[in-house]
Amino acid sequence: MRFPEGAVLFVSLRLMRERKRQTLVSVLGVAVGVTAFIVMSSLMFGLQRHFVRQVIDLDAHISVKQRYDLEEDRILRRVFGREVIFEILGSRPREVRDRINGYGKLIEDISKMEGVLGVAPHLRANGVVRFGPKEKPVNLVGIDPTLEGRATSIERFLEAGNLGKLTENRKGVILGKLVARDLGVNETGKKVILIVPGGGSEVLEVVDFFSSGVTNVDRSRVYVHLRTLQRLTGRINEVNELLVKVRDVEDAVRIARRIEEETGYDAVSWQEAYSNFLNLFKVQKIITYMVTGSILVVSAFGIFNILMMTVLEKRREIAILKATGFSQRDITFIFLIQGVLIGVLGTLLGFLSAYLVQMYLLSLEIDLEGFLRVRGFSFLDRSPVYYLSAFLFALLLSWLASFYPSKRASSLDPVEIFRSGGV
């Protein structure tokens, strides 16, 4: 005799109601695991994406610089040829001028490459900014305001959006937010003195503040017009770096290799420049999955324990069900449904709990300052992907946890149970 699916579901719900307390504990266990999975994923991956987005927009997808090759055996090979075997005990790198020759033509050639959106020249140097009695060593970056916006997202980090003022006023300067704070400059229009190695100095007007959220950058970086820095450093018409922006950031490595092949300069993609951080993020991802996965596995053992106890305590009832016509398949589904229902209820409760925790974290107004400076947990990523992943993972573990008890229940022999008195 074939029983309808409604009868199977009725028996499953009846068995769950008889063990309300244990069922509730299992549901809460799944809910805690799902909540932890979603919230930790939102925090960890949100922070990683925020960091990557900041550093990519901050500098460049690809940085082109002069190549420095050690080539310890260059002189000996030139004198004695390739056939001689020798050992080098000491050497120093070949002296190379820190500049990019013919950078105007190079910018034009790179801009024509497929996938390149913009190229901008940089002249980097060290210097000191003085405001009244206060001095601060800084990293100077000479930029072309017209080209800079095409190769970087510098305007996104400017508080007043006055990048264009560097074009109008070549004696303007953009201070990093923390540079300005340390000097005591709290508004634009102030005059500061810029001093570079060799004694060159000039009075510049603060036209904007640069706030990237990356502490080390905001504490040291200062932007001036390219021509101004070239004149102060005595490096007329020279640059020592080109910044390249590409259409697809994941394609930066390939384009960097092509630039190296065609120009002979060293091209470093953002993946290479921040490889240590990217490797650290991989470790964080593994730890996140291990911790949240462990919580869900523990909750799955709770489901397994409840169903096994039900099977052991309800052997007589299972025998009666089989004797009245329930098939092995029906008995299997009775217990599988219990496990899956616990997983679904726990997941839905976990969704609600995770949403409330996320909303609470987003409402916190605290300043977090470390390698990155952020306000509260604004970097938190509320992608539905985390909810979907948690649902699938919890459902899979619930099904696996109920699989063995279900098979155990379906394999019970009612004759043996009745013969032993139902125990």
As a whole number, mean pLDDT of residues 242-259 equals: 90
* DSSP track, 300-330: HHHHHHHHHHHHHHTHHHHHHHHHTT--HHH
Gap between the Cα atoms of 377 and 133, Å rounded: 37
* pLDDT for position 174: 94
pLDDT at 1 over 50: no
Gap between the Cα atoms of 60 and 57, Å rounded: 7
Gap between the Cα atoms of 355 and 293, Å rounded: 19
Question: Does residue 55 contact residue 255 with C-beta atoms inside 8 Å?
Answer: no
Sign of CA dihedral 258, 263, 266, 267: negative
pLDDT class of 75 with cuts at 50, 70, 90: low
Question: Does residue 125 contact residue 229 with C-beta atoms inside 8 Å?
Answer: yes
As a whole number, mean pLDDT of residues 390-399 equals: 87
pLDDT class of 110 with cuts at 50, 70, 90: very high
Question: Does residue 401 contact residue 311 with C-beta atoms inside 8 Å?
Answer: no
As a whole number, mean pLDDT of residues 244-253 equals: 88
Of residues 47 and 171, the one with the higher pLDDT is: 171
Helix or strand holding residue 281 (H, E): helix 275-313
Amino acid, single-letter form, for residue 3: F
pLDDT in tens, 333-379: 777 888 888 888 889 999 999 999 998 888 877 666 555 666 667 77
As a whole number, mean pLDDT of residues 311-336 equals: 71
List the beta bridge partners of residue 225: 143
pLDDT class of 3 with cuts at 50, 70, 90: very low
Helix or strand holding residue 206 (H, E): strand 201-210
Q: pTM (2 decimals)?
A: 0.67
Gap between the Cα atoms of 127 and 140, Å rounded: 6
As a whole number, mean pLDDT of residues 266-276 equals: 85
Share of the chain above pLDDT 70, in %: 81
Largest CA distance in the chain: 104
pLDDT in tens, 117-146: 999 999 999 999 999 889 999 999 999 998
pLDDT at 158 over 70: yes
* pLDDT for position 299: 79
Residue 128 three-state SS? strand
3-state SS track over 94-163: CCCCCCCCCHHHHHHHHHCCCCEEEEEEEEEEEEEEEECCEEEEEEEEEECHHHHHHHCCHHHHECCCCC
Gap between the Cα atoms of 376 and 266, Å rounded: 39
Question: Does residue 182 contact residue 136 with C-beta atoms inside 8 Å?
Answer: yes
pLDDT at 85 over 80: no
* pLDDT for position 373: 60
Question: Does residue 305 contact residue 298 with C-beta atoms inside 8 Å?
Answer: no
373-376: long-range contacts, CB 8 A cutoff, minimum separation 24: 373/213, 373/214, 373/215, 373/218, 374/50, 374/213
* pLDDT for position 123: 93
Nearest to 164 by CA among 122, 124, 207: 207
pLDDT class of 414 with cuts at 50, 70, 90: low
Alpha-carbon Rg for the chain in angstroms: 33
As a whole number, mean pLDDT of residues 232-248 equals: 90
pLDDT at 282 over 80: yes
Residue with tokens 């100095």: 201
List the beta bridge partners of residue 122: 143, 241
Question: Does residue 138 contact residue 196 with C-beta atoms inside 8 Å?
Answer: no
Amino acid, single-letter form, for residue 291: V
Instruction: Please tell me what DSSP assigns to residue 135.
Output: E
pLDDT at 266 over 70: yes
pLDDT class of 298 with cuts at 50, 70, 90: confident
* pLDDT for position 23: 79
